[in-house]
Structure 1
Amino acid sequence: MPSSTVENYLKQILSISLDRDNREVAMGLISEALGVTPGTATSMVKNLEKEGWLTYKSRKGVKLTAPGRKLGMNILRRHRLLETFLVETLGLDWSEIHDEAEELEHAISEKVLERLDEFLGRPRHDPHGHPIPTKGGIIQKHICLSLLDCKEGMSVTIDSIDDQEKNFLKFARSRHVVPGNRIRILSREEVANAMELRIDGKPSFSIGFEAARKILVSF
């Protein structure tokens, strides 16, 4: 049975690859996402390759094999369903749920997971707006663009928040930057690297370009 560390690596590699149209994932992205040193990530990836979970090319990156993708998709499904349960049923704030789901996802059985999915009404997205894989491993393609790519005067719908950091999620919630809300770009200040925004019916506010990059939107 794969360890929780193996499952975490496969889940994270899959998550990154889905955002990159299933292209190879660079080692730097893996180490950054998992909060480990590049050397630690490389050592673990080489072990995973020996076990048949992925292929690794030093200059190109990592690509999951069919078994690696299947397990990664299963863990990603567990994680996002658990996050949904923690928010919708237990009432936790969305800034608190990532670490809790990380602990629970390795222990929940397939039977309980299926009952949980049914209990929640088979949700298609988690609280952050990310698509939840089906039991069969099918996941909705996440077609969206970064708020940073939007021009002044545009109005778009918030699709998802591409960050799990607690302080950022608390900030986003306080400004009503949540999936489903409409947001208008009032102005862009290229010199200051900032944007002025307004959520329908709410006061305007400013965010930096780096924060805007983490907010994914659609028309």
Structure 2
Amino acid sequence: MTVAELSPMAQDYLKLIWKCQEWSDAPVSTNALAGRLGVSPSTVSGNIKKLASLGLIDHTPYGAIQLSVEGRTAAVQMVRRHRLLETYLVVRLGYGWDEVHDEAENLEHSVSQLFIDRIDTDLGHPGRDPHGDPIPDADGRIDRPAAQQLSEVEPGRCGYIARILDDDAELLRYLDTRRLVLDTHITVDEHRRFAGSLSITRESGADGPEQLDLGLAAAESIWLTTTPHRHPGARTPRAVPAGS
């Protein structure tokens, strides 16, 4: 069964299960999926049974949800579609990084595999999407950076922004106004755990360093790595200014 033969529901569920495990070792539960999808646990349970009957997931009642080998293959293909579409929308069509998530969600179910392969070639086979998430290659291989959440980085440590969660467009626009985008170098100055914030210093080129305060939600959305990543031909995505 190819990914194109799966229903949009199956495509969405497989992709979400895989993404839940991409940066976390926590088991995937029915309730966790229901929260992410905005549906009832009973709806998720019914759809999980359908996917299990197709051999796409392994699941026992009240147990963790695991992708089968076939399910993982399909999930990675959907992730590849989504992230290539996001990248194409930013690099070729001028979308802001805060605009592409929902657009790609709609497009990924309808475009052909040939189209995905063509935009991959046109973009020069990018290694990451506009938010820093790795793009699987045509064979399903993934080069994931060794990154750590900013909220967990100890004071005095520094790094480059390698990844930013893409599910909150308003947060992406806020980070853009603070010039906290991919490959920005920052140093953690202080954790204010009881206040739910931390202080960082952002290196801003000719303007010199600038100290910023971030709330916990913003800090948990940013991941740092020790070295920057630049893919040939890629550009740092930015949000579209309000009113443009």
Which of these residues, 173, 176, 179, is aligned with residue 176 of structure 1?
179
Query: What is the percentage of aligned positions where both structures have the same residue?
Result: 32
Q: Distance between the aligned counterparts of 2:40 and 2:24, measured in 1? A: 22
Q: Distance between the aligned counterparts of 1:203 and 1:130, measured in 2? A: 26
Q: Distance between the aligned counterparts of 1:156 and 1:65, measured in 2? A: 36
8 Å CA contact 2:145, 2:225 repeated in 1:
no
Q: Distance between the aligned counterparts of 1:39 and 1:127, measured in 2? A: 34
8 Å CA contact 2:162, 2:224 repeated in 1:
yes
8 Å CA contact 1:14, 1:73 repeated in 2:
yes
Match in the other structure for 2:213: 206
Match in the other structure for 2:230: none
Q: Does 1:88 pair with 2:95?
A: no
Q: Deviations over 1:99-147 (max 9, x none)?
A: 0001111111111111110000000000000000011111113421110
Q: Distance between the aligned counterparts of 1:132 and 1:33, measured in 2? A: 22
**Residue aligned with 2:210, SS:** coil
Amino acid at match of 2:153: C
Q: Distance between the aligned counterparts of 2:29 and 2:200, measured in 1? A: 33
8 Å CA contact 1:19, 1:142 repeated in 2:
no
8 Å CA contact 2:57, 2:67 repeated in 1:
yes
Q: Does 1:3 pair with 2:11?
A: no
Structure 2 counterparts to residues 53-72 of structure 1, below 5 A? 53-72=56-75
Alpha-carbon distance, 1:77 to partner: 0.3
Q: Distance between the aligned counterparts of 1:163 and 1:101, measured in 2? A: 12
Match in the other structure for 2:105: 102
**Residue aligned with 1:185, SS:** strand
Q: Does 1:191 pair with 2:194?
A: yes
8 Å CA contact 1:152, 1:186 repeated in 2:
yes
Give the number of the structure with larger relative contact order, counting CA–CA contacts within 8 Å between residues 6 or more apart.
Answer: 2
Amino acid at match of 1:68: G
Q: Distance between the aligned counterparts of 2:76 and 2:159, measured in 1? A: 29
Match in the other structure for 2:222: 215
Amino acid at match of 1:123: P
For the aligned residue pairs, the C-alpha RMSD in angstroms reads 1.5
8 Å CA contact 1:196, 1:204 repeated in 2:
yes
> Structure 2 length normalisation: TM-score?
0.84
Q: Distance between the aligned counterparts of 1:86 and 1:93, measured in 2? A: 8
Q: Does 1:79 pair with 2:79?
A: no
8 Å CA contact 1:123, 1:132 repeated in 2:
yes
8 Å CA contact 2:159, 2:225 repeated in 1:
yes
**Residue aligned with 2:22, SS:** helix
Tell me whether 71-80 or 194-203 shows the greater mean CA deviation: 194-203
Structure 2 counterparts to residues 135-154 of structure 1, below 5 A? 135-154=138-157
Give ranges in structure 1 of 5+ residues lacking alignment.
none
Q: Distance between the aligned counterparts of 1:33 and 1:198, measured in 2? A: 33
Which of these residues, 128, 131, 142, is aligned with residue 134 of structure 2?
131
Q: Distance between the aligned counterparts of 1:134 and 1:172, measured in 2? A: 29
Closer, same or farther: CA 57–143 of 1 in aligned 2, 3 Å = farther
> Structure 1 length normalisation: TM-score?
0.93
Q: Distance between the aligned counterparts of 1:211 and 1:101, measured in 2? A: 23
Match in the other structure for 2:23: 19
**Residue aligned with 1:13, SS:** helix
Q: Distance between the aligned counterparts of 1:76 and 1:58, measured in 2? A: 27
Q: Distance between the aligned counterparts of 2:121 and 2:113, measured in 1? A: 12
